[in-house]
Structure 1
């Protein structure tokens, strides 16, 4: 989630072309590779063609997740899980058992198990544990806030 927040500079919930370009430039710099602006633009276009599955010219969280090196990408497991805003708010309040405004590791266990059941996904305890670790590694200090969870679950406005 930190990577997402860093590059979604306009907080639109998407990574648009310029934001993707900044992400790719930073990744290339970390690999000690420099490219000129023309090559960077070509590379950005190529990444959009490869990862923008709905061809809207921007990356959603699940599309961007494919670019990120997560051991076993938990986001792709829940791709297609959609909730309206009302369902999402109810779910958040249900799993935020202590009402502190975020979901911690223990609360996340119950959420993941229920999500797997709801979406008829057969996941054993080890997989749930791995997903939990992946999510918490991306969370803000072990705290999964409402906006982070909304991005993961693609909560809509309905």
Structure 2
């Protein structure tokens, strides 16, 4: 249920970003590709995906950050289920430490760890994407 809520919450945003990127592709590119004999599949693979790739990277990065910051969904469903503990997500642990236990130092430390993990995952992902893009351009 938590994944379903998160999925439907993020799909709309991601869809708008990708749709906007697709609409920004000039129609002349499609016309030129069709005149050169390109099929719809080759147009998708060789024109649409490379042009939309920065938007795909952006939406994946935002989705990864949102996953690390899951809080509202499990807190909403927690009273309905006894399988969701008070530390099911890192932010739920921060909330429990700060407001249930009154241990603001543990909550602060956990928050800093979450922020550093978010930064590290984002940085590593962007480096991986950047290195992959550089490698694919060198092989041409």
> TM tier, shorter chain?
under 0.3
Which is higher, the Rg of structure 1 or of structure 2? Answer: 2
TM-score (norm. length: structure 2): 0.26
